[in-house]
Chains A and B, each alone.
Chain A
Amino acid sequence: MIIARPSLLRRRGVLGMNERNIGFIGEHNPRKNYSLVDNKLETKSAARARQIPVPGLYGVVQYQHQVSDVEILLQPYDGFVIKPAQGSGGKGILVIVGRHGDRFIKSSGEEVDGAYVRRHVSNILAGLHSLGGRNDTAMIEALIDFDPCLAGYSHQGVPDIRVIAYLGVPVMAMMRCATEASDGKANLHQGAVGVGIDIASGCSVRAVQHNRLVDSHPDTGAVFAQLQVPHWERVLDLAASCVEMTGLGYLGADIVLDRDHGPVLLELNARPGLAIQVANQAGLRHRLATARTIAEQTADHDQKIELARQHFGSPA
């Protein structure tokens, strides 16, 4: 079947883009709170104020004349990540995992020189990767020391976990695993594997690549059925806290697992995509309705998570 019947999608509770925009983003996410999410520097400082773990900040480059000194700034660090503070959709992120003499080694293994790094920073400042092409700030972050238990599930780097939280209730989660087909990117439509994660246990529910169910990672061969995300309670807690932190009722939290610090908040998204439904092979609408009743029943943070785990756990 090439396309699905709308009535069937509705019965499965699949959320469409229009309804997401009007019913959830427009309804629960006040425009003025967006900057806290869209600007990663603001997100970081707000998260720190609430003791939410985030990657360490090495430095900030704000003006073009500072670009020439970037290498001095980077001197003490072997690995780091340069990203635009207001980038969208993971654009403009340069990950350096090590050094080779004067040269830097990218996560893909490619070696680049200092001029490449300076040009990248300069592009960020000019707003190349940012929403609306505005002038931006480049931030240099510590490289996450990824938890090795998930390393097998991704081609290059380590997968991140996206949790959608609605009114403080974690609703749905997935892990995005880059593949060779997706060119190391974590976008599902580019061929990354989306793994639906059970809200109750943190175990994988099913894994989908190119809209087809898969059992194991196509490059590494890691079997998804054995996957259980460690520190799962902490992941849910973190995602739910972000709703309180940002004042956005409907958001997506991107979380990675650090070897030493456990779950770390990477970034937040005020307009989380709908691909998570594909990864879970389930619709969001019914869950969102349940989440609303949960939020009406209790205002307590831990109780909301507890109820969410009861309601959204899959009957394995």
Chain B
Amino acid sequence: MLTSRAKIELIAGLLILAGVGLMLYKVFALGFPLLPGEYRDVWTIESKISFSPGEGPVDAELTLPGGTGGWVVLDEHFASSGFGFTIGDETPRRASWTRQSLDRPASLYYKIQAYRPSDDELPDRPAPAIDPPLLTADQEVAVVRLIEVVGEQSSSPERFTSLLLTLMAPRSDHPDVRYLRSAWDEESGDIVLAVLAHAGIPAAEVRGIRLEDGRRRQHLSSLLEIHNGDHWVTFDPRTGEQGLPGDFFVWQRGSGTVLDVSGARRSRLEFALVSNSLPARAVVAMEQRSGRYALLDFSIYALPVEQQGVFKGLLLIPVAALVVVIMRLLVGVSTSGTFMPILIAIAFIQTTLFVGLAIFLGLVAAGLWIRSWLSHMNLLLVSRISAVVIVVIFLMAALALASYRLGIDQVLSVTFFPVVILAWTIERMSILWEEEGPREVLVQGGGSLLVAVLAYLAMSNRLVSHLTFNFPELTLTLLGVILLLGKYTGYRLTELYRFRAVGGDQQ
């Protein structure tokens, strides 16, 4: 049987670990920003499909990018003036624009925002069957010779591909390469793919965009990927380098067409590219809305914006509670009421600190004065407190009106102070005054205000609000810490002062 202390320590430990663990998972696996003010490069890619009128009904189909290789599509927009528009269910998705007839050139737009949180390679997929294209006899001789030359110097499919790409570089003077180029016709597809097929290496094209900030009229480019018997490896055909380049946005894998247009002529697909540095949390917010983390969603961003605002405030309260617990249990400040400092701190957030302090002190002082007058009237307690509530409301209204006339708008925020809290504070303070004297009022009132100001500073700290909002699971950690503090049996800081004589050298 565990002692209650061990039980609490176990539970607190689990809570702390759960909170921190979830947070670390979100930081490292999902790319949540740990600190405020981190930025992410978000690319806005605008695709423009343009064509001239042709015969009959127009049908333009565009394969849509799915977000692979670490890329995440945050947002997409379609502009289809005068065209019928549908998105098919198949994978990859295809958007199709249709129109019965067309009398002048038209442009269709598809805009996405994407960023790359992780440098993943392309996901695995089964290797396709190799289907070498038919070649003429002389082409085949050149290809076989090329395979022999490259094959002699390479031990693996990767090495082979890399060497082949170097050899096939545009200005290569290798005779077989030059011959192949001159004898090759467009219909037979890519030369490199053909050579790889003859060498028995499964290979495919990866279509996509080379990203350049501010670039307009960019066209689709291709990368090469081969299957090395175990997994797929990507190559940049221009340089022969292995791996998915960081500036390459993957649109489609495989050699299927990206754009199909029927019933029109001179169709073109061009891209305009802009890169923006956006705050990481804005990116995460966009990502949440696009529904990427549907299952493990424990983030406030999933809520509608309005509710997000509410929770932003609510999630700060545990932090304030921790401040109160520390100040009371470890430091030993006496406050009037356990949670009054938190409520005052919340009001300070709305009013800003100094305006809030001034309003609070002013209202409580005026209220105390009126309360002392009421106490001479020999009223029953309930009606006296109610009277104080009403007087406080009246004071607030008067203060707001007067400040508005004077043009001090900040004082209007007086309404953020909870009336009942103010009235109760006034009542408690005045009883304290009568029974314990003004000194105790100063001690407890000052203690409450001190804790409230500290709680306010903690709650208004940018890092704190960033962490609680982005990692609500940290609330569990706070809970664990507070549970642990509930079992703290050491001295309070004020006790070290209080018992200074006992601990002294008098004995």
Contacts and interface: CB of A to CB of B under 8 A. Distances in A.
Are the chains A and B members of one assembly? Answer: yes
Interface of A: 1-6, 8-10, 12, 14, 16-19, 22-23, 64, 91-92, 115, 119, 122-123, 126-129, 133, 183, 190, 208, 211-213, 274, 277-278, 281-283
Interface residues of B, number: 30
A6 B498 CA distance: 12
Contact of A4 (B437, B499, B507): B499
B210 to A, nearest CB: 65
Nearest to B329: A18
B491 A208 contact: no
A12 B488 contact: no
A281 B150 CA distance: 94
B506 interface: yes
Contacts of A14: 491, 495, 499, 502-503
B407 interface: no
Given A3-B496, A126-B382, A12 B502 contact: yes
Contacts of A128: 381, 431
Given A6-B490, A16-B491, A17-B495, A211 B503 contact: no
Contacts of A2: 497, 500
A127 B381 contact: yes
A277 B502 contact: yes
B183 interface: no
Contacts of A4: 496-497, 499-500, 502-504
B159 interface: no
Given A3-B496, A211-B498, A278-B501, 6 more contacts: A4-B500, A4-B503, A18-B488, A122-B380, A183-B437, A211-B501
B497 A281 contact: no
Nearest to B332: A17
23 contacts: A4-B496, A4-B497, A4-B502, A4-B504, A5-B496, A6-B491, A9-B491, A9-B496, A9-B503, A17-B332, A17-B492, A18-B491, A64-B380, A119-B378, A126-B381, A126-B382, A183-B437, A190-B437, A211-B501, A274-B495, A274-B498, A274-B499, A281-B506
A183 B440 CA distance: 14
Contact of B378 (A1, A122, A127): A122
A126 B329 CA distance: 32
The 6 closest A-B pairs by CB, nearest first: A4-B503, A126-B381, A19-B489, A3-B496, A16-B491, A8-B503
Nearest to A208: B501
Contacts of A127: 381
B499 A9 contact: yes
B435 interface: yes
A183 B438 CA distance: 13
A277 B491 contact: no
B504 A1 contact: yes
Interface in B254-281: none
B379 to A, nearest CB: 9
B93 interface: no
Contacts of A16: 489-492, 495
A269 to B, nearest CB: 17
A127 B498 CA distance: 31
Given A14-B491, A17-B495, A18-B488, A281 B502 contact: yes
Contacts of B435: 91-92, 129
Contacts of B504: 1, 4
A115 B378 CA distance: 9
A17 B492 CA distance: 7
B502 A283 contact: yes
B181 interface: no
Contacts of B380: 64, 122, 126
Nearest to B501: A211
Contacts of B492: 16-18
A283 B499 CA distance: 9
Contacts of B382: 126
A9 B273 CA distance: 70
From B490, B499, B501, B506, name the one whose CB has the most chain A CB atoms within 10 angstroms.
Answer: B499
A2 B506 CA distance: 15
A4 B507 CA distance: 14
Nearest to A277: B502
Nearest to B376: A119
B215 interface: no
B292 interface: no
Interface in B469-500: 487-493, 495-500
A9 B439 CA distance: 28
B448 to A, nearest CB: 18
Nearest to B503: A4
Contacts of A22: 487, 489
Contact of A19 (B439, B490, B497, B501): B490
B371 to A, nearest CB: 12
Nearest to B381: A126
A16 B499 CA distance: 9
B427 to A, nearest CB: 9
Nearest to A115: B378
A283 B503 CA distance: 9
Contacts of B507: 281
A18 B325 CA distance: 12
Contacts of B501: 208, 211-213, 278, 281
B7 to A, nearest CB: 14
A239 to B, nearest CB: 22
A133 B381 contact: yes
